[in-house]
Amino acid sequence: MHPLITPEALADALSARPATVVLDVRWRLGGPPGRQDYEVSHVPGAVYLDLDTELSAPPGVGGRHPLPEPERLQEVLRRAGVREGGQVVAYDAGDGSVAARVWWLLRWAGFGEVAVLDGGFAAWEAAGLPVTDEVPSELAGDGLGDVVVRSGQMPVLDADGAAALARDGVLLDARAAARYRGETEPVDPKAGHVPGALNAPSAGHVGADGRWLGAEELASRFAGLGVSDGVAVGAYCGSGVTASSVVLALEVAGVTSAEKPAALYAGSWSNWCALDREVATGG
């Protein structure tokens, strides 16, 4: 399954393939909760999952959005109706970064048939496709999902691994340029970046219309950052969420593949700061 799907293709899939599960993962840094948007309007049949409480472990030294325990993730996905042999499409309200975290998380869990809705909920509405405020009846209690989480199927970096990759390969920082340079830090206790990391803001993966750039444009962008065949590459951000979109973008660009994906520093800057590691600033 291609990691991106258009609104029209998703509409067709929902008609032709009942085992398609749509996950609404709208979320904002600092709130208000994305569930409020979901309750007003969403893709018909979509199930809302909360990034903070259902798709991450509790915050701590591991970061603000540590990877969930496999058993907990399996419970959440089964409640949402995810089945072996089915497919999942995730969407958010922004540049696809939160949905990309879900794409990455399911791939990490060993579930390959997962995609991000290109352009998110805004693209679905712009295409004139139906929306609803009706919440699916207690899918959560029906035990319809039977997915088995087989964690560890995507490469994950810890702080030492991130430091080594920044030195010996390419480590991409998905945060906005001002945060990367250390000019501002609205969330974490230190400002700056992992020494040796290069800046690749996640917002640069999409165009003005909110759709993802094409493979050639993305490949050119990464080539300009020194990412090429044979060079080890990984990504991080503030808490491991938006960096997932870098992993996805590298695959869309053809720089990496489903068989050889880029690595994710899951704890990201929040973990780096918690460990009091060396900080670099500037461009």
Query: What is the C-alpha to C-alpha distance for residues 117 and 104, in angstroms, rounded to an integer?
Result: 14
Catalytic entry in 80, 90, 93, 237: 237
Burial of 215 (0-12, 13-18, 19+ CB in 10 A): middle
What are the backbone dihedrals phi and psi of residue 266, each rounded to the nearest 5 degrees, phi first?
-65, -40
Query: What is the C-alpha to C-alpha distance for residues 56 and 58, in angstroms, rounded to an integer?
Result: 6
| Strand duo 114-117 + 170-173: pairing | unpaired
DSSP H or E segment with residue 251: helix 243-252
Alpha helices in 80-158 (DSSP H): 97-108, 120-126
User: Which letter does DSSP use for residue 229 in this model?
Assistant: T
Closest among 43, 24, 44 to 34, alpha carbons compared: 24
Query: What is the C-alpha to C-alpha distance for residues 48 and 201, in angstroms, rounded to an integer?
Result: 27
User: Which letter does DSSP use for residue 129 in this model?
Assistant: -
Is position 237 annotated as part of the catalytic site?
yes
Query: What is the C-alpha to C-alpha distance for residues 67 and 243, in angstroms, rounded to an integer?
Result: 13
Provide the annotated active-site residues.
237
